[in-house]
Amino acid sequence: MISGVDHIVILTPEIDAGTAVYAALLGRSPDWRADSDTGVATVLFQLGNTALELVAPAGHGPSAEHLRERITAEGPGLKSLAFRSTDLSGDHRAFARLALSPTVIEEGESEDMAREARRTWRRFRCPPEASAGVRWFFIEPLDGDIEPAEVPLGHVHALDHLVINTPNPDRAMALYGAKLGLRLALDRSAPEWGVRLIFFRTGGLTVEIAHRLGQGEDPAAPDSFWGLTWRVGDIEAAHDRLAKADFNVSDVRTGRRAGTRVFTVRDGTLSVPTLFISGVAD
């Protein structure tokens, strides 16, 4: 059973530069860093309801070259969504019956040499052709879960929602609702905004599916990641903090949800459209 979003993955050309960007954006220090012998470097920021994993090529080897090829072809940005499972074997069987073509379950591990710590997990993935183009992983942590550090109110403590664009909302409803079993919280067409919004809730955050109305999109085309909205306790403090760090931020404005305030980070986020929000209960 899916219990939440374990982590999201952003691909960056260089791990130190990417880490500096997101440490400044989130107002947090990284909680984990690992360099594998396959040429992949990872950094993890653990939040209250999920984690952000930065992935970059490091050195040489097949994995490093594959990541460089992807960055050249696609650019950096949001690339994968990893759901947390409380019963990975059961989910694997269920997804096989639902024609999601899950791969073989594999065990994984990561070592943070600076902290002398180790994490282990089991996981599988579903190929993009089974998930309408979005890369899905499913993970069951075994040992070494990271507790999120407390941060000031103007710093990010949680992910509010992630946005996936779809040309086919009925397909998305079937995938995220009927097949993955996420709870449908909202299905609303808003002609004044030119969009149909479908919200699925899991583990204290929202997977938002957005469909542009009247665009004449090919319903067989793949879904794609769009952006992230980070949750803070004090929107003015967050705005001031990012402005002082030379991020290009919009003015603070009233959000679409009652009681919320938001602002946009216009660039400098590794090509990830980014919003900050306050006034949301955890």
Q: Which residue has the higher pLDDT, 157 or 36?
A: 157
In this structure, the answer to whether residues 138 and 6 fall within a common structural domain is: yes
Reported pTM:
0.96
Residue 152 located in a structural domain = no
pLDDT, mean over the chain: 96
In this structure, the answer to whether residues 7 and 133 fall within a common structural domain is: yes
Q: What's the pLDDT tens digit per position in 19-30?
A: 999 999 999 999
Among 104, 107, 121, which residue's Cα sits nearest to residue 32? 121
In this structure, the answer to whether residues 128 and 173 fall within a common structural domain is: no
Q: What's the pLDDT tens digit per position in 130-170?
A: 999 999 999 999 999 899 999 999 999 999 999 999 999 99
Instruction: Provide mean pLDDT across the span 107-119.
Output: 89
Q: Which of 96, 114, 143 is the C-terminal boundary of a domain? A: 143
Residues written for the chain: 282
- % of the chain surpassing 90 pLDDT: 89
Q: Which of 111, 143, 175 is the C-terminal boundary of a domain? A: 143
**pLDDT value at 55 more than 90:** yes
In this structure, the answer to whether residues 114 and 189 fall within a common structural domain is: no
**pLDDT value at 34 more than 80:** yes
Q: What's the pLDDT tens digit per position in 181-208?
A: 999 999 999 988 899 999 999 999 999 9
Residue 198 located in a structural domain = yes
- % of the chain surpassing 70 pLDDT: 100
Q: What pairing do the DSSP bridges indicate for beta strands 40-46 and 32-35?
A: antiparallel
Please give the full DSSP string across 34-61, using - where no structure is assigned.
Answer: EE-TTSEEEEEEE-SS-EEEEEEE-SSS
Residue 19 located in a structural domain = yes
**pLDDT value at 52 more than 90:** yes
Q: What pairing do the DSSP bridges indicate for beta strands 77-85 and 51-57?
A: unpaired
What domain range is 87 assigned to? 2-143
Residue 149 located in a structural domain = no
In this structure, the answer to whether residues 6 and 137 fall within a common structural domain is: yes
Q: Which residue has the higher pLDDT, 217 or 210?
A: 210
Residue 153 located in a structural domain = no
Q: What's the pLDDT tens digit per position in 61-72?
A: 889 999 999 999
**pLDDT value at 215 more than 80:** yes
**pLDDT value at 177 more than 90:** yes
Given this model, what pLDDT does residue 89 score? Answer: 98
Which CATH number does the domain housing residue 177 bear?
3.10.180.10
Given this model, what pLDDT does residue 59 score? Answer: 84
Given this model, what pLDDT does residue 37 score? Answer: 78
C-alpha span between 26 and 30 (Å, rounded): 10
Q: What's at 236, amino acid-wise?
A: E
Tokens of residue 45, six digits: 């920021």
| Counted domains in the chain | 2
